[in-house]
Each structure stands twice: as C-alpha cells, then as structure tokens.
Amino acid sequence: MLLKTDASTFADILPPKRFISYLQNILNTVDVIIGDDAKESWDFLNTNQTQNSSSELLGSFETISDKMNGNFALHTRRIKLYRTKFNDSFSKELTSNVSINIPDTGLNDIYITTIVFSTLHNVMPSRNSSFEFTDSNSTSNKTKPDNTINAAVLLVKLNETIRNITLSYQKLNATLELDPQCVFWNFKLFDKVGAWDDEGCEFVSDINDTVICTCNHLTSFSILMSTDIPESILLLDVITYIGVGISIVSLLICLIIEGIVWKALTINSTAFMRHVAIVNTALSLLIADICFFIWASIAKNPKDNPNKDYIVPIGPCSAATFFMHFFYLAMFFWMFVSSLLLLYRTVMVFSQMSKWTMLAIGLTVGYVCPLIIAVTTVAATAPDNGYVRQDQACWLNWTKTKALLALVIPALTIVVFNILVIIVVLYKMLTRRGTGNTVQADEKHALAVILRCVAILTPLFGLTWSLGIGTMVEPKNKRIHITFAFFNSLQVFTLH
C-alpha cells in the first residue's frame, strides 16, 4: 500500500520535524476517508473476500508506528495520536472514551505509541475468527452482521514486550449489551484478508456502558458486541406502546364523559373546580402521551438499528422533550390544585371564594408554574447541549446536566405534599364527627370524592415516579424498567 511504503521511507530520510508534519498530513487525509460519509464505500469493499483494503489501512498505521521517534502528540477530528516515554508503569485517558493502563513492568525509558480511531468502525468489517464467507455475504453488503464494532479502535505499540495491558472502552452504542468480546485485528486470518480475534484478550466487565478488557500482547484493539435484541427489551417496548395506546383511548373517553355530564355535576364551586382539575389532569396526560409517540418516531431505537447512527436529532427531540416535560409537570400541578382545593374546603369551612377566582388560581398553578420550570430548564441547559440526552431517546438529560431533576423534584414534592394533605383532611374529618359538621351535604359529598381521587392518585403517581428514579439509579435493571413502563402507561385508569 502506498501509504505504508511512503511512511516507512520518509521516516528514514526526513528530519523529525518534517516527519511529524508529513505524519499530520497523513492523519488529515485518513480522517476524511474514515468518516461517516465513507461507510457505504468501505462496506462494499469489505464484502469482497479477496480484498483487504481496510486491513491494509490499519496495517499502514502499525508500520508507521514502528518508525516514530521522540515525544509528540497529533490529532484530527477522528484520530488521536500520542507518543511518549514512561518508566515502570503507564496509565492514561487517551480520549473521553478510551483509557489504557499498563501496570508495573520493571522497565525504564519505554516508548509507547497510541493511536485512537474514533470512527474506524466505519472502515473495519465486524467479522471475527469464526466468520464464514458465503456467496451471499461476499457479494452483497446488505447482510445483517451478527456482531458490530462497538468502540473506538486503539492501536498500541511499544519498544518492549508487554504481557499485561488493561483497556477501557466507552460503548459507541450503549444499548447493545449481549456477548461483549475483547478483540484485536489479526492480519493473518482468512488468507491475510484479516478479521477480529480474541486470542490473548479477556473480557473483564461491562459496567455503566464501559467495557474493560485485559490482553497479553499489543496490536490494534476494540470490542465486538452482538446485535441481537434482548427479549426483555422487546417486552419493554410492547408494554410501553400498548399501555400508552390504551392510556390515550381511556383519556379520550374520560374527557368525553366529562363533557357529557359537565353541567349536571358542576353545581357548586367545589364540584366545578374538582372537575376542572380532573379535565386538565387528563388533558395534560393525554398531550404528554401523544408527544411520547411523536418522540418515538423521531428517535429510532438504536437496538432496532444497531448499524445506524443512534445520535438523536437535537432540534426535533428538544421540542418533543419540552412539551413532554411541560405537560407531565402540568399533570402533577393539577393534582396539586386538587389537593389545595381539598385542603381549602376542609380547613376554611366558612370561606366562600368564587368559582372564577378558584379557576384563575388553578390555571396559574396548573400551567404557569410548570411553564416557568420547563422554560428555565431549557434556558439553563440547552446552551451547553445538555437539555436532552443524545444517545438513546428524546428525553431530559441526566448524565451531563441532571436536567431530569427539573421533573423529578417538583413531581415528588407534590406527591409528598398531597400525602400530608390527606393526613390533615382525614384528621379534620374524624375530629368533626362527634361535634357536628356545618358543611352542606353536597359539599361533604364533593369533599369525599376529592379525597378519594387525591388518595388514590397520589400513591399511584408516587409509586410510578419512584420507579422512574429507580431506572436512573439502576439503568440496567430490566425488572424496574418493565414495572415502571407498566404502571406509568396505565396510570390513567384511576382518574375517574
């Protein structure tokens, strides 16, 4: 290959500074041809079992690494090259996604060269040593692979023999979980066409989307992972979509019933506000559920598309996330309105606030407060691209800015407040039983209905969103995810 020959020759005849400049030009060129736009071309080349263009490209860099002298660092958008000298041990975070650790070697003045290719998964085929070439996969690039390269490719060269090296990779696709394989590129396999091989490398752990490997030799490393979708994830999707669909239908029925019986049931100010709260709680949840389906159509599930770009579209996802955030908050704040109404009618028995004053307060609390929180969250996190998560779904960011707390904290605060209101109201109602009650019969009935709604909704929503926190604390616990999806999608049934 021309790149390999020229690099070897120029390394021998050029002064060090000229060689580094020459090497930077090579990196700039290769940076272009390993980008996402070139993936289809490389896929086509890799289907031919008599060609090894991708293997030769990687081999060229191994040859160049042997010719390097001195300490220096070079980088492009997709390639990070680092060469230095160390004594005894070496540990470094090469990029935000790749780390290396070489423990005690007992050696001094060891030169190490590392090259991290963040997008070489576009270039290298995902076949491993057990791959079998067939007529179908050697002539077509449409065959779905069993594995995919799920990390950056790291080339490591030393001027000594090392038998113990630990590598840490952040997954490219965090949703792939099955059969992680720590591998190196074996240039000799398949008559020197090349393939990934796990000989001498062992998988250590897969925790928080970080895979750790140990190897007893040096070359070009990465990780392979199975593209199969776990059954638990399929079950989770089915529960979520069916549950949300049932929820939407039930909410529509609830709103239709409210419209039919509105005049007959809103005979006093308390009943009026109770039904206003019910309608707006149902309406907020309905719109949030509709936004969920819009969100699902925007952000393709990376588990269903393991070989496609799983970075969500920021603009559309930000809009869908804003409306989901706002209307989920509105749902909780209208529950808060119901609780305030219950507390008001129980504690301030003789107060007579007009229905329109109550309505104004309800609209302010139910919609203005969540709007302020939602807008403030966008303003505080969007400038640093920390509003939505970009790796799996259109939803509030958690790992970078903790934007999700802008939903969790208000929601759980309202749940706790509502529980306290229930306790206070029950105490008041029990203490009044023996001394008589001046509240009119229809008011007493309305209070009982509100109490029942708040008492049922609050524990349910509290349980649901407590499970939501569980999905953040234990993101890999499938039981928590499935339970959360089940209760959250069917919570509408207790509205009436």
pLDDT in tens, 385-439: 889 876 656 788 887 888 988 988 998 888 888 878 877 777 776 676 544 454 5
Q: Terminal CA-to-CA distance of the chain, rounded, Å?
A: 73
Tokens of 355: 């229905």
CA angle 234, 235, 236 (to 5 degrees): 90
Q: What is the pLDDT of residue 369?
A: 96
Q: What is the pLDDT of residue 138?
A: 46
Domains of the chain in sequence order: 2-226 (2.60.220.50), 231-494 (1.20.1070.10)
Point out the residues of the chain with pLDDT beneath 70: 1-16, 48-51, 131-145, 227-240, 297-312, 349-351, 390-393, 429-430, 432-496
Q: What is the pLDDT of residue 1?
A: 46
pTM value is: 0.59
Tell me, rounded to whole angstroms, the distance of Cα 413 from its chain centroid: 25
Contact predicate 339/417, CB 8 Å? yes
Instruction: State the Cα–Cα distance between residues 174 and 181, nearest whole angstrom.
Output: 15
Q: How many helices (H) and strands (E) does the chain have?
A: 14, 13
Q: Which residues of 333-351 are buried (b: 16+ CB within 10 A; e: fewer)?
A: bbbbbbbbbbbbbbeeeee
Residue 448's CB is within 10 A of a number of other CB atoms, namely 11
CA angle 270, 367, 461 (to 5 degrees): 75
Q: What is the pLDDT of residue 113?
A: 92
Q: What is the pLDDT of residue 247?
A: 78
Q: What is the pLDDT of residue 364?
A: 95
Q: What is the pLDDT of residue 330?
A: 94
Torsion of CA 273, 278, 282, 288, to 10 degrees: 60
